[in-house]
Structures are given as C-alpha cells and as structure tokens.
Structure 1
C-alpha cells in the first residue's frame, strides 16, 4: 500500500470518527481496508488506545509473518541481525521518518510507526507462537527540542510472533493523522516494548526520526 493511499484511508476514517451519523462497523471496515494493504488485520479495538488532542484518526495493524514471506512492513531492504547466544529476541523499531505528502489545504497529515519482531524457537512454545502484548508510543513533536508533545499515540494490545521465522515473525504498525501545524520537518520519537509474560521480553526507548511534510 502506498503512503498516499494509506493517508487517504485515514482521512476517510477521520471524517467517519468525527461524524455521529457513521456506524461503528463502517469505521471498522475502513481500518481493515488499510490493514489489508499491509497483509495484516485491524487490532485497534483489541487494545487500549490513548491519543493527544492533535490526533484525528488511528489504525493499528498486526502483520503475521511466515517463512515464505520476508517482506518488511517499513523497510523492504531491512534484514534483522541474528539473535546472539545471550539474546532470544530482536526488534527493529521504525519511528515516522522520510517525506509525507498530503492534499493542499488539508488540515491533517499522516504518520506511521512500526516494530518488526524476531524471536527464536523455544521448547516452552511447542506450537511455535509467542502470544504477547505490545506497548507502542509514537510522537510527532512541534519543536526540535521536544518542548511540545504535539501529536502523540499510545496503544497497548495483543501481538503474536511466529517463532524462528527470519528475518522476523511478526509486525505491529500504528498509523494516525495529525492536525496541521507546528514546524516541518517534524521531529518524531517512538518507544516500543513486547512481553508474553513467560519467556520473551524486549524494549526500545526514545528512538528518533524526522518527517518532512509536503502539501500538494
């Protein structure tokens, strides 16, 4: 799915979210359409979502991975390092980065952050799946110093990982719209953690990025 199409779907979702006449199932259909482009499923309502006032719409996608599918969600050229003898899990964290385009005069622009997960096989999980929980915090700040928290999203919800699948066995993607304003480029930050409460646990904090917003 292209960035423009994803932003367009989020724009539709934004309108539906703000309209009392829209039915809940319509919003769900729009979110699922966005996730289908990533070969994933909409898990937005399966978790707990907190957003700042600057956020218009949010969709959270879970993307399962299999041995015959090594495409990356955020970076198709990315290959995760092998887990060392002292690590049984790795994660590649992608805060919003690059260039984002939005319609001229639009009151919003779209951002997306994601995490790609690899976990080694373990006898503790004979079915080959770790069913855990992700905590994703994603932020677009209005000043280079981070003086303003700006547009921010936090989602806590279920995530599963296909164990032993390389380069990774699962991904979680959070896409959202931000109201126009502040500076460009937008300074972004992302925190991510995963835990299944038994064996696998990993955390990455304060990973930064930068987004140039163009209206055309």
Structure 2
C-alpha cells in the first residue's frame, strides 16, 4: 500500500510538470514527502506500465544503473474511445477530445455537446480506478492522455524531414495532413539548432485544423518529446 501511495504521488507530480522530471528532481520531491530511499524509488519506477526511464548522459549514480539526469516520463495504457459517442461500453474513456484540447465549441460545461465532458462519469471513473488514476486532476489527466494516446496528436511527416526544399520530399506539401516540423527538434535532440533547415515551429494551419488551444499548442514540443521516449522504450522492449 505504501508503494501504491508513492506511485500515485509520482504520477500526479510528473503530470503536473508537463509529464516528466529528471530523476534527481523527482527523488528530491518524493524524498521530501515520504523519506524514500533512492533504491526504493527506482524499484517503483521500474513499473513499465506507469513509468519510462530515459537514461541520461551523466555518470551513473554509484551503486545504481541510472544517472541523476535520467528523465522519468509518466505512462498509461488508458486511451480515448475512438467509436464514442457510438459506443455502449468498452475499456476506453468516453470523452470529447476537443474538451481535452480546450477548444470544444460547446464550452467546458459540454451541456450541448454530443460527447461527454465528464472525465469522472460512472463509465470513466471505473476505468480510472482500475488504473489508479481516479484522483488525478483533469489538467493532469489530459497531459497524461496527450503524451500516450497517438489518436490525439497529428503525426510528424517523415517525408518533410527528408530531401531538399521547403517541404522536403513530401508530395502533399501544404495539403499534408501531418505536421511539417523537424522531427529531431520534437525529440529534443536537433543538432542544428537555430540554423536547422527544418521548422522548429508548430504549423499554425495544422494547429487550427486539430483545434488545439493556445495553451496546448505551446507545450506540444514537450508532449511530442515525451511521446517519442515512450514509443522508443516500447520498441526497444519488443526488440
């Protein structure tokens, strides 16, 4: 039970800091509250269903197999139901995705929306409890969903990131449904920085098309970076 309390606290903490923290920062916060050892926290973070550990570049902590600058990212298997509102019952959340984006034309109340704005409805609450997320505030839940549920984000165009010219080798150019941004910048490791020939800015037309709020649009690079590390970890584990 004690470990469950720490795990839940770590999830809430990470979701409140744009989905991730360095191990050093995380251990300080958790140790201040629970007086937990480095080893005990690492054991909790080894739960691959809830957390991803992205190895840092500094020397490993003596006696442990990770460095203090390793990034800890929060993870979940919870997804939005893509069939909703035409779904009676399933194991996915029944929520308006534009409510998550902060741009539902029916407002936050959702009284006139065909899709639910109740993140803790009876159906949703059962799923959240099953995944120990029932006490997560909405804004933190939405952060968690955005960086884990691929259906909530446009893909980064792989063809834009190849070839020359304004649109790389993408034949759809401005009509492409995917984001024309530097995939390495969104992974957090573009070596060209300000002189990169690929855009480091979110395409405003795609942001408008997907109807992200200005607040969500401003944190998209961080969301994509977290998503990349989660996806990369899953690919590595399957290899």
TM (normalized to structure 2)? 0.23
Higher relative contact order (CA 8 A, sep 6+): 1
| Structure with larger Rg | 2
TM (normalized to structure 1)? 0.25
